[in-house]
Structure 1
Amino acid sequence: MDQPIAVSNLDDLTSWNSEWSDLAVVVLGLGATGFSAADTLVELRSNVLVIADTAADNRVQMTQVIGAALTLGGSADEQCAALAAHSPDVVIVSPGYPLNHPLLEWCRNAGVAMWTEIELAWRLRDKTGKPAEWIAITGTNGKTTTAQLTAHILTTAGFRAGAVGNIGIPVLDAIRYPDGFDFLVVELSSFQLHGMPRTGVGAISPLASVCLNLADDHLDWHGSREAYANAKATVYANTKVAAVYNRAVLATQLMVEEADVTEGCRAIGFGLDTPGPSDFGIVSDLLAERAFHDDRHNEAIELFTLDELRHRNLAAPHMLANILAASALTRAAGISVEALRAGVASFEVDAHRNQQVLVSGGVTWIDDSKATNTHAASAALSAVDPVVWIVGGLLKGADIAPLIQQHATRLRAAIVIGTEKLAILTAFERHAPQIPVFEVESADTEHVMPRVVEIAHGIAREGDTVLLAPAAASMDQFTSYADRGERFAAAVRERVGGSDDDTTDAPAATPASE
């Protein structure tokens, strides 16, 4: 195999104004991030080849329009041959490519640099002049809501801020936005973090960062809990002002203690207990801060009351944690307490995250289809009692038994969907045999949720909550968690009919990576 010859010192590529022309680049994947990377590099006059297994027709057409070469489909050997023929100086890898993928193996064997789109965006962040400050957010659960809330608070305070990254908007699109941003709130998945360097010119240096929590997820991709946690810990590297951690999750504190941060960076804790100095937490019925004010060693500043958050459906424990984390991140960015309060007061939770569909006959129907892992489902279950739980889908290697053991006393019944039912049914039989369990057998997506709602409607009693919190990804039976949630809500409205209490009908959300 011929070794590619680099035409440029990659360490010199640290600015939009660096010499990117004639650089040979291969972009792996033609999803949103892959196309954004190709489009950006063509604009920089690099020589770009995109290799992808499949792609939407419109992206194929747009790739041809911008002038990038494209290899679509083919065997692994054929794709490797196309990669070798291009003699790349660097390869941009879209999130989720398996670590043992033949194309990545080829790059490692050939000594070709592999970057994520996040590293590329960091190098190019000065396109519109002064680079935006980055706020980096990861975690097993809650990162999209926290990123949205953080960006909303900053925007309400008068700054130009955008929530980007794993949330659905490629960072490369944001750094090319003509008017620029003051802050980019970057949601980072474990896939993205795995490929990011912690040192060197391509390593990001966020103003503030947080790992919200840590629970088993994507273990089939990472290979082990340790590898997954190590990827998440990358979020703290080179943080400048505040490394924010969850006091209830020791692993996040250890990540901060072991992180190589910028001198002067502070560790800021958040939790649902009483805050100490440099913490955010809860005192009696108040969310409070003891981190960014002069007398933090002696007193706390009131941020919000639990009552006002309850009135806005923001008082579930996991939502309180998200609010405290976003408060810490924005206060680290210099936002006043008054601006913080105004931002939270006007925030609306995204669709499919603990979203009330309707209340009828004393039964509350909740769509938390975005609970795609056991940690998210546990947070949703902790907020309701008793509950008819709709569970199942693609488990991604997670063990669901501890979740069932933890919440068995809350359950009126369980309704199991998805293609990986056996593990769930077995866990119920072993750990909660007293719980009625109903299995929905259907290969037809159209009929899954109508049958689920039919069963739930017959089980639920006044005072119950019917909760869609599947603890699993959706792509076995649905196109996305949003599709799953929308079909559930439509079936509820069709079967249950008009509500005799308040209803909520929010627009559909664009799903991020599950």
Structure 2
Amino acid sequence: MGSGQVTSTSELFDFQGKRVVVAGLGVSGVPAAKVLHARGAVVTVVNDGDDARAREQAAELEALGITVRLGDGATLPEGTELIVTAPGWKPDKPLFVAAERAGVPVWGDVELAWRLRGPDAAPWLAVTGTNGKTTTVRMLASILQAAGLRTAAVGNIGVSLLDAVLGEEEYDVLAVELSSYQLHWAPSLRADSATVLNLAPDHLDWHGSMEAYARDKGRIYEGNRVACVYNVEDKATEDLVREADVEEGCRAVGFTLGAPAPSQLGIVDGILVDRAFVPNRQKNAQELAEVSDVTPPAPHNIANALAAAALARAFGVPATAVRDGLRAFRPDAHRIEHVADLDGVAYVDDSKATNTHAAEASLASYEQIVWIAGGLAKGATFDELVARSAKRLRAAVLIGADRHLIRDALARHAPEVPVVDLDRTDTGAMLQAVTEAKRLAVAGDTVLLAPACASMDMFTNYNQRGDAFAAAVRELGA
């Protein structure tokens, strides 16, 4: 960890008369354009699409006096002094290439929110990682609330950051979920404490390489004031801490599913234990909660709980609030969600496991599995996932456009595992998949939907895919 006082960038930025381009309509673009316009900026919104929804949003903004250019998101308007982009726009887009050539800065919605914070703004406890971000941020918010603090889960989840920093509600601290896209476009963000939960290949088509993806994730540690929280079992996260330039006195704090060393949180005899935020951490430890207080108590979810606890403890939260907050927390739908037990077989919906890293964590949570998998691979390979999980697989049922990639990996690394390959991508395929899984399962097994793939080949999103799984299970149990 580098050290040295980091200059604050939270002073209010003067937008009066500034020529600002907002790149992209949608969830972040429309509110950003309104906020900038209200602060006196001369705003032009550019958008690639020109569909009915975009025209409706454009009309709303034009009524306020904001210029909107639909169907042309590539050209840099003359005189542009700043671009505020939707987080999903790729860095290699012609608009940004032209901006770099012209020396025009590019911010995302997170950077805009950070710059608009008032002088007494609530500090940010920030979370990123390939998997587990939303769960960890919501756990963290639950713990902070249990401590009596005014807080909200914000960012890539829940309340938008612009609403959180500009709204009338006052907060003591914010639990902030940040994606790699958002971090890429947030150069001056400085969190109070932050964590990178884990790192695995994801969104490489956007970032261009694993190195660039990791570098953007690592931005979350820049300028941290109290603690950089890393995953002891994922050395890449510790490497990012070592490379970060932080404020003097900021500490590296690890979390582990094993017994913790000093300056770590971990597990001892079924107890979540803190050896970081205690007096004389060489000899002392503080009990925080029991593993059974975490729902569900799957290994990767316990890791999420430890990361949330570390961030909360870095903010001075007492141990009892960690326990109470974890007990009160319930995960969102489609995240290792137990749907039903039929004939001694558990049916679990982890439709949110949209990449191999998440699917591996899900598969590691059960001993005997009939695995429902497949969808859009997004360039992923499945050999490591299958090789590491093979001993847990009783059978596999494959669906979706890229199921052959998983089938081939199973043939190479788990040839003894029976495979049902459903050659259909209509939404009704899920009922057939669950029917086949029921036929293959025996009492004590878990039928697990952990697709390791995106859902858009068959479903609108992972929520609809999970709903289809749950509906199929209920139909078979009726």
Pairwise same-fold verdict (TM > 0.5): yes
Q: TM-score, normalised by structure 1?
A: 0.87
Counterparts of residues 365-404 of structure 1 (less than 5 Å): 365-404=347-386
From 263, 278, 287, give the equivalent of 2:248.
263
Aligned to 2:38: 43
- On the 8 A contact 1:218/1:397 being kept in 2, the answer is no
- On the 8 A contact 1:386/1:412 being kept in 2, the answer is yes
From 125, 129, 140, give the equivalent of 1:139.
129
Aligned to 2:117: 125
1:113-149 deviation digits (Å, cap 9, x = unpaired): 11111111111011xx611101111111111100111
Aligned to 1:111: 103
SS in 2 for 1:292: coil
- On the 8 A contact 1:28/1:51 being kept in 2, the answer is yes
Aligned to 2:3: none
Query: Once the 2 structures are TM-superposed, how far is the Cα of residue 61 of structure 1 from its aligned partner?
Result: 4.8
Query: Once the 2 structures are TM-superposed, how far is the Cα of residue 66 of structure 1 from its aligned partner?
Result: 4.1
Query: Once the 2 structures are TM-superposed, how far is the Cα of residue 13 of structure 1 from its aligned partner?
Result: 8.7
Aligned to 1:71: 69
Query: Once the 2 structures are TM-superposed, how far is the Cα of residue 234 of structure 1 from its aligned partner?
Result: 0.9
Unpaired stretches in structure 2, ≥5 consecutive residues: 1-6
Q: Compared with structure 1, are the counterparts of its residues 369 and 19 closer, same or farther at alpha carbon in structure 2 (3 Å cutoff)?
A: same
Aligned to 1:351: 333
Query: Once the 2 structures are TM-superposed, how far is the Cα of residue 372 of structure 1 from its aligned partner?
Result: 1.3
1:226-268 deviation digits (Å, cap 9, x = unpaired): 1111111111110000100111111111111121110010111
Letter in 1 for 2:298: A
Query: Once the 2 structures are TM-superposed, how far is the Cα of residue 12 of structure 1 from its aligned partner?
Result: 12
Query: Once the 2 structures are TM-superposed, how far is the Cα of residue 169 of structure 1 from its aligned partner?
Result: 3.5
Task: Give me the whole-angstrom Cα distance separating, in 1, the residues matched to 2:224 and 2:269.
Answer: 32
Q: TM-score, normalised by structure 2?
A: 0.93
Q: Compared with structure 1, are the counterparts of its residues 369 and 59 closer, same or farther at alpha carbon in structure 2 (3 Å cutoff)?
A: farther
Structural RMSD (CA): 2.0
Of the structure 1 ranges 272-281 and 288-297, higher mean CA displacement relative to structure 2 is found in 288-297
Query: Once the 2 structures are TM-superposed, how far is the Cα of residue 472 of structure 1 from its aligned partner?
Result: 1.6
SS in 1 for 2:245: coil
SS in 1 for 2:457: coil
Q: Compared with structure 1, are the counterparts of its residues 360 and 259 closer, same or farther at alpha carbon in structure 2 (3 Å cutoff)?
A: same
Task: Give me the whole-angstrom Cα distance separating, in 1, the residues matched to 2:467 and 2:249.
Answer: 46
Query: Once the 2 structures are TM-superposed, how far is the Cα of residue 488 of structure 1 from its aligned partner?
Result: 1.3
Letter in 1 for 2:429: V
Letter in 2 for 1:209: A
Q: Compared with structure 1, are the counterparts of its residues 106 and 379 closer, same or farther at alpha carbon in structure 2 (3 Å cutoff)?
A: same
Of the structure 1 ranges 321-330 and 454-463, higher mean CA displacement relative to structure 2 is found in 454-463
Task: Give me the whole-angstrom Cα distance separating, in 2, the residues matched to 1:24 and 1:351.
Answer: 42
Counterparts of residues 157-306 of structure 1 (less than 5 Å): 157-197=147-187, 203-306=188-291
**1:156 partnered with 2:150:** no
Aligned to 2:437: 456
Q: Compared with structure 1, are the counterparts of its residues 44 and 13 closer, same or farther at alpha carbon in structure 2 (3 Å cutoff)?
A: farther
Identity of aligned residues (%): 46
Query: Once the 2 structures are TM-superposed, how far is the Cα of residue 69 of structure 1 from its aligned partner?
Result: 2.2
Query: Once the 2 structures are TM-superposed, how far is the Cα of residue 408 of structure 1 from its aligned partner?
Result: 0.9
**1:426 partnered with 2:408:** yes
Letter in 2 for 1:322: N
Aligned to 1:20: 15
Q: Compared with structure 1, are the counterparts of its residues 62 and 385 closer, same or farther at alpha carbon in structure 2 (3 Å cutoff)?
A: farther
Letter in 2 for 1:220: D
Task: Give me the whole-angstrom Cα distance separating, in 1, the residues matched to 2:425 and 2:60.
Answer: 34
1:345-372 deviation digits (Å, cap 9, x = unpaired): 1111111111011111111111111111
SS in 2 for 1:161: coil
Query: Once the 2 structures are TM-superposed, how far is the Cα of residue 65 of structure 1 from its aligned partner?
Result: 4.5
Letter in 1 for 2:306: L
Task: Give me the whole-angstrom Cα distance separating, in 1, the residues matched to 2:423 and 2:26.
Answer: 32
Task: Give me the whole-angstrom Cα distance separating, in 2, the residues matched to 1:434 and 1:405.
Answer: 12
From 360, 363, 377, give the equivalent of 2:342.
360
From 309, 332, 346, give the equivalent of 1:327.
309
- On the 8 A contact 2:255/2:264 being kept in 1, the answer is yes
Of the structure 1 ranges 172-181 and 243-252, higher mean CA displacement relative to structure 2 is found in 172-181
SS in 1 for 2:74: helix
Task: Give me the whole-angstrom Cα distance separating, in 2, the residues matched to 1:66 and 1:271.
Answer: 52
**1:88 partnered with 2:80:** yes
**1:491 partnered with 2:476:** no
Task: Give me the whole-angstrom Cα distance separating, in 1, the residues matched to 2:195 and 2:361.
Answer: 18
Query: Once the 2 structures are TM-superposed, how far is the Cα of residue 168 of structure 1 from its aligned partner?
Result: 4.9
Task: Give me the whole-angstrom Cα distance separating, in 2, the residues matched to 1:474 and 1:69.
Answer: 36
Query: Once the 2 structures are TM-superposed, how far is the Cα of residue 440 of structure 1 from its aligned partner?
Result: 2.4
- On the 8 A contact 2:343/2:443 being kept in 1, the answer is yes
Task: Give me the whole-angstrom Cα distance separating, in 2, the residues matched to 1:441 and 1:95.
Answer: 36
Query: Once the 2 structures are TM-superposed, how far is the Cα of residue 220 of structure 1 from its aligned partner?
Result: 2.1
Query: Once the 2 structures are TM-superposed, how far is the Cα of residue 99 of structure 1 from its aligned partner?
Result: 2.5
Task: Give me the whole-angstrom Cα distance separating, in 2, the residues matched to 1:325 and 1:427.
Answer: 33
Task: Give me the whole-angstrom Cα distance separating, in 1, the residues matched to 2:341 and 2:458.
Answer: 27
Task: Give me the whole-angstrom Cα distance separating, in 2, the residues matched to 1:226 and 1:118.
Answer: 22
- On the 8 A contact 1:214/1:252 being kept in 2, the answer is yes
Task: Give me the whole-angstrom Cα distance separating, in 2, the residues matched to 1:452 and 1:88.
Answer: 53
- On the 8 A contact 2:199/2:237 being kept in 1, the answer is yes
- On the 8 A contact 1:243/1:256 being kept in 2, the answer is yes
Q: Compared with structure 1, are the counterparts of its residues 439 and 495 closer, same or farther at alpha carbon in structure 2 (3 Å cutoff)?
A: same
Task: Give me the whole-angstrom Cα distance separating, in 1, the residues matched to 2:9 and 2:261.
Answer: 43
Task: Give me the whole-angstrom Cα distance separating, in 2, the residues matched to 1:150 and 1:492.
Answer: 32
- On the 8 A contact 1:164/1:185 being kept in 2, the answer is yes
